[in-house]
């Protein structure tokens, strides 16, 4: 592996490399009696969060391949599903461009985007064109609060998550003085704000509120400044590319302070990259642990067998999002966005992450949230809090 | 007080890395009058090569000390080859072209290297294995790790080594001659191509060491890591006076200190109006301030513009 990597590096140097752009796959041959349904998906496939974005794409792809293998019919016609996957680069601007591209490609529905910061600006474009959108992972409250009929999500939002995290930090972990950091993205800021509200409501004091970006890896200065204020707990609203080096630098500064993140931290990569420093860190994830779901373990095993690595984060949610969309299409007897959209808001579907149903805003009804802690180098479920109302 | 000391340590560690990278910018500028914007990517490639080697060697149960030294050495050698290659491909054909042309190829080279690294090592963050030196030491209430002590020491060592090369060897004398007056140096029998190639190779060797040090400190490597580091180091070189070796070292350490003290105290000083997220802003504010008030930098000399 080493030799091939180095050789390929120098071989590539001497050639002019063409960095290819993403090409959507060509549709397979289908006869006239078969209905072609295009599912658009978007997540960052390049950049720091590419590993999570690729995981989303994998989850979506698995659901689509399963549906094709099952030979699903909609309104009496056999259906062939096709995935159009686009890279939004975690960038709000790029997200609107790929959203328009997917709309122009006449997709029947959208699974995405991954981040709240990209999902929110893109949601307007889908709404204007009447295309149902299910985000597997955008948790910012603002996403479904815009009043768009087309916006749905299969994950508890930040208000629900922040509430649980704040309560857990103050009650179960008995934190009195809390330092809060966020990465200034729609998600990071949103969940940190909700966490602050909840922690303060439960009597904790927020001693400092600091910020970073979703591209930084050096936090020594800010952590040192936090160290001087001696908090009981540090909460970081952000994703694992920052969370892992942050907790590592925290421990290098000799601080034993508890470290907590939202769903953005709950990845195997967080533990890989932070190493022993990850031990004891907390994160939350909407939903019940996969092991407790009837179809959860089976899904995880099939995912690993197919993609040769464990689920990173949101793949099960993407899988559910596709399936709930297909279920709505089947009930409506049509894959036309205008026809199945009204059904989607009423459909109830038994997924791998939860029993899915949407409220009038498009949020998940009564979603459960599970808190996890790194113990012996693995995320272990600590507590599941069920039925959190938004 | 211990917090202040901790920020000083943070700044010194960060500053040592900036200084090593800044030397690469300043050496090339001194000789060619060119900003080698691909230099930050050389740092990244050095880190990536060291990461791959270190991972492989450790997996093969090689002793940690040998693994670290060997991967560092290979990273240095390969980065020197890369530096040589960059100069041959992107700069030498444009030696007599207008100044803008090599600047554009420099930026192009940087993008090419970044994308190649992305294709080879993938898009995700990798954990940089560091089997040694994670022990913490307490100095007057502040904490420093072995790795950080190592960074400062190695940086000092590399910098003194460079000063010896530049001031005590034949090649160093040739470098200084070319920097002073290229055409006169040619007339005196200096092989200018060899001098320029060695400059690039020396700078790239320092970059490889810097890449190894940053990755060991943060425990993480990523194909994008060279970009910001390169910009900061460039700022450090300008701060110290671009083209001046001592200036680059001073500029690097100063910039590290400014950043860490700035980011550490701005929140308290402005009552939370500005936060530590302005860390990067400090560096670039320094760049603007230097360019406006003292374009030749702290140690740079005001030289008459050559026609």
pLDDT of residue A20: 39
Q: Count the Cβ atoms, other than its own, within 10 Å of residue A93.
A: 10
Cβ–Cβ pairs < 8 A, chains A and B: 141
Q: Count the Cβ atoms, other than its own, within 10 Å of residue B22.
A: 34
A43 by Cβ neighbours in 10 Å (0-12 / 13-18 / 19+) ranks as buried
Tell me which chain A residues have a C-beta less than 8 angstroms from the C-beta of B264.
221-222, 224-225
Instruction: Check whether A274 has a pLDDT greater than 60.
Output: yes
Chain Cα centroid distance, residue A331: 27
> Is the CB of residue A207 less than 8 Å away from at least one CB of chain B?
no
Supply B285's token pair: 């504010």
Please answer whether residues A347 and A134 qualify as being in contact, where contact means their C-beta atoms are separated by less than 8 angstroms.
no
- CATH 3.40.50.2300 occupies which residues in chain A? 34-156+291-358, 159-286+370-385
Q: Count the Cβ atoms, other than its own, within 10 Å of residue B253.
A: 22
Contact A17 B56 (CB under 8 A): no
Contact A211 B276 (CB under 8 A): yes
Could you identify the residue written with the tokens 């779901």? Answer: A293
Instruction: Check whether A24 has a pLDDT greater than 50.
Output: no
Contact A225 B53 (CB under 8 A): no
Going by pLDDT thresholds of 50, 70 and 90, the confidence category of residue A18 is very low
Supply A150's token pair: 């087309």
What does the alpha-carbon distance between residue B190 and residue A265 come to, in Å, rounded to a whole number? 57
What does the alpha-carbon distance between residue A197 and residue A201 come to, in Å, rounded to a whole number? 6
What does the alpha-carbon distance between residue B133 and residue A356 come to, in Å, rounded to a whole number? 49
A203 by Cβ neighbours in 10 Å (0-12 / 13-18 / 19+) ranks as exposed
> Is the CB of residue A46 less than 8 Å away from at least one CB of chain B?
yes
- The alpha-carbon radius of gyration of chain B (Å, integer) is 19
> Is the CB of residue A121 less than 8 Å away from at least one CB of chain B?
no
Phi and psi based region of residue A285 (left: phi greater than 0; alpha: psi -120 to 50; beta: remaining): beta
Closest Cβ–Cβ partner in A209, A211, A245 for B218: A245
pLDDT of residue A4: 62
Going by pLDDT thresholds of 50, 70 and 90, the confidence category of residue A290 is confident
Closest Cβ–Cβ partner in B52, B224, B279 for A221: B279
Please answer whether residues A211 and A251 qualify as being in contact, where contact means their C-beta atoms are separated by less than 8 angstroms.
no
State which fold the A34-156+291-358 domain adopts.
Rossmann fold (3.40.50)
Closest Cβ–Cβ partner in A46, A184, A273 for B125: A273
What does the alpha-carbon distance between residue A243 and residue A388 come to, in Å, rounded to a whole number? 26
Contact A225 B277 (CB under 8 A): no
Q: How far lies B202's CA from each of A9, B27, B137, in Å?
A: 21, 9, 33
pLDDT of residue A12: 53
Q: Supply the pTM of this predicted model.
A: 0.82
Tell me which chain A residues have a C-beta less than 8 angstroms from the C-beta of B127.
244, 272-275
Tell me which chain B residues have a C-beta less than 8 angstroms from the C-beta of A308.
none
Closest Cβ–Cβ partner in A2, A51, A218 for B218: A218
Phi and psi based region of residue A260 (left: phi greater than 0; alpha: psi -120 to 50; beta: remaining): beta
pLDDT of residue B304: 44
Q: At the top level of CATH, which class does the domain A159-286+370-385 belong to? A: alpha beta
Nearest alpha carbon to residue A175 among A186, A167, A184: A167
Instruction: Check whether A387 has a pLDDT greater than 70.
Output: no
Computed from CA positions of residues B171, B177, B178, B184, in that sequence, does the dihedral angle turn out positive or negative? negative
Nearest alpha carbon to residue B207 among B35, B43, B23, B25: B43
Query: Chain B closest CA to A122's CA: distance in Å?
Result: 24
What does the alpha-carbon distance between residue A8 and residue B119 come to, in Å, rounded to a whole number? 10
Element (H, E) at B143: strand B142-145
B122 by Cβ neighbours in 10 Å (0-12 / 13-18 / 19+) ranks as middle
- Mutation site for A-interface testing, chosen from B14, B15, B123 by largest number of A Cβ within 10 Å: B123
Please answer whether residues B31 and B197 qualify as being in contact, where contact means their C-beta atoms are separated by less than 8 angstroms.
no
Instruction: Check whether A365 has a pLDDT greater than 90.
Output: no
Closest Cβ–Cβ partner in A45, A218, A273 for B127: A273
Nearest alpha carbon to residue B24 among B83, B102, B109: B83
pLDDT of residue A32: 58
Query: Chain B closest CA to A58's CA: distance in Å?
Result: 16
Nearest alpha carbon to residue A375 among A246, A283, A302, A254: A283
Supply A105's token pair: 């490609």
Coil, helix or strand for A133? Answer: strand
Name the closest residue on chain A to residue B46, using Cα atoms: A6
Q: Please report which residue ranges of B33-168 form alpha helices under DSSP H.
A: 39-59, 64-86, 100-121, 146-168
pLDDT of residue A6: 59
Name the closest residue on chain B to residue A220, using Cα atoms: B10
Contact B7 A221 (CB under 8 A): yes
Contact B14 A218 (CB under 8 A): yes
Of A157-161, A186-190, A233-237, B224-228, which one has max mean pLDDT?
Answer: A233-237
- Mutation site for A-interface testing, chosen from B108, B146, B272, B277 by largest number of A Cβ within 10 Å: B277
Contact A222 B125 (CB under 8 A): no
Tell me which chain A residues have a C-beta less than 8 angstroms from the C-beta of B258.
none
Kindly state the average pLDDT of the residues A128-148.
93
pLDDT under 50: residue ranges of chain B: 304-307
């Amino acid at each position: 592996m080493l030799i091939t990597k180095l050789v390929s590096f120098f071989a590539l140097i001497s050639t002019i490399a063409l960095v290819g752009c993403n090409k959507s796959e060509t549709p397979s041959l289908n006869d006239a009696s078969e209905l072609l349904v295009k599912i658009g998906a978007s997540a960052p496939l390049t950049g720091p969060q590419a590993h999570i974005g690729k995981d989303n794409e994998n989850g979506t792809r698995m659901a689509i391949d399963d549906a094709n293998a099952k030979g699903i019919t909609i309104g009496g016609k056999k259906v062939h599903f096709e995935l159009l996957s686009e890279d939004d680069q975690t960038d709000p601007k790029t997200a609107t461009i790929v959203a328009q591209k997917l709309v122009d490609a006449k997709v029947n529905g959208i699974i995405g985007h991954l981040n709240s910061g990209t999902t929110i600006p893109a949601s307007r474009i889908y709404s204007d064109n009447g295309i149902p959108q299910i985000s597997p992972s955008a948790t910012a409250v603002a996403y479904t609060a815009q009043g768009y009929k087309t916006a749905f999500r299969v994950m508890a939002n930040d208000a629900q998550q922040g509430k649980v995290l704040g309560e857990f930090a103050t009650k179960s972990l008995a934190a009195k003085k809390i330092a809060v950091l966020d990465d200034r993205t729609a998600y990071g800021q949103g969940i940190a704000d909700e966490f602050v509200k909840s922690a303060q409501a439960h009597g904790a004091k927020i001693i400092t509120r600091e910020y970073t970006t979703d591209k930084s890896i050096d936090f020594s200065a800010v952590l040192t400044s936090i160290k001087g204020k001696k908090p009981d707990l540090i909460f970081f609203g952000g994703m694992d590319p920052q969370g892992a080096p942050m907790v590592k630098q925290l421990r290098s500064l000799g601080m034993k302070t508890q470290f907590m993140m939202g769903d953005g931290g709950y990845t195997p990569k967080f533990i890989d990259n932070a190493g022993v420093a990850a031990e004891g860190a907390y994160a939350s994830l909407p939903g019940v642990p996969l092991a407790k779901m009837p179809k959860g373990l089976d899904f995880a095993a099939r995912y690993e067998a197919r993609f040769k690595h464990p689920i990173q984060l949101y793949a099960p949610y993407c899988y559910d999002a596709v399936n709930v969309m297909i279920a709505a299409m089947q009930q409506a007897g049509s894959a036309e966005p205008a026809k199945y959209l009204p059904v989607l808001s009423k459909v109830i579907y038994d997924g791998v992450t939860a029993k899915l149903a949407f409220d009038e805003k498009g949020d998940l009804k009564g979603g459960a949230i599970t808190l996890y802690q790194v113990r012996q180098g693995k995320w272990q479920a600590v507590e599941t809090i069920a039925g959190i109302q938004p | 007080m211990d917090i202040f000391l901790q920020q000083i340590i943070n700044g010194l560690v960060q500053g040592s890395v900036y200084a090593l990278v800044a030397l690469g910018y300043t050496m090339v500028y001194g000789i060619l009058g060119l900003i080698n914007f691909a230099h930050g990517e050389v740092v990244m490639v050095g880190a990536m090569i060291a990461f791959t080697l270190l991972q492989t060697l450790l997996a093969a149960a090689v002793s940690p000390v040998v693994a670290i030294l060997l991967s560092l050495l290979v990273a240095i050698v390969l980065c020197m080859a890369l530096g040589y290659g960059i100069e041959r491909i992107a700069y030498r054909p444009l030696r007599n072209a207008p100044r803008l042309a090599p600047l554009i190829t420099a930026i192009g080279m940087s993008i090419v290297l970044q994308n190649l690294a992305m294709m080879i090592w993938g898009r995700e963050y990798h954990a940089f294995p560091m089997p040694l030196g994670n022990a913490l030491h307490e100095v007057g209430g502040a904490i420093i790790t072995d790795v950080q002590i190592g960074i400062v020491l190695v940086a000092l060592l590399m910098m003194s080594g460079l000063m010896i090369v530049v001031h005590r060897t034949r090649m160093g004398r040739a470098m200084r001659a070319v920097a002073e007056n290229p055409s006169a140096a040619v007339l005196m029998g200096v092989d200018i191509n060899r001098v320029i190639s060695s400059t690039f190779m020396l700078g790239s060797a320092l970059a490889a060491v810097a890449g190894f040090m940053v990755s060991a400190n943060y425990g993480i490597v990523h194909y994008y890591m060279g970009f910001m580091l390169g910009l900061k180091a460039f700022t450090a070189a300008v701060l110290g006076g671009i083209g001046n070796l001592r200036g680059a070292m001073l500029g690097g350490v100063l910039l590290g200190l400014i950043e860490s003290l700035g980011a550490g105290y701005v929140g308290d000083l402005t009552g939370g109006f500005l936060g530590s997220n302005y860390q990067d802003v400090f560096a670039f504010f320094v760049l603007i301030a230097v360019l406006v008030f003292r374009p030749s930098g702290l140690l740079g000399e005001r030289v008459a513009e050559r026609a």
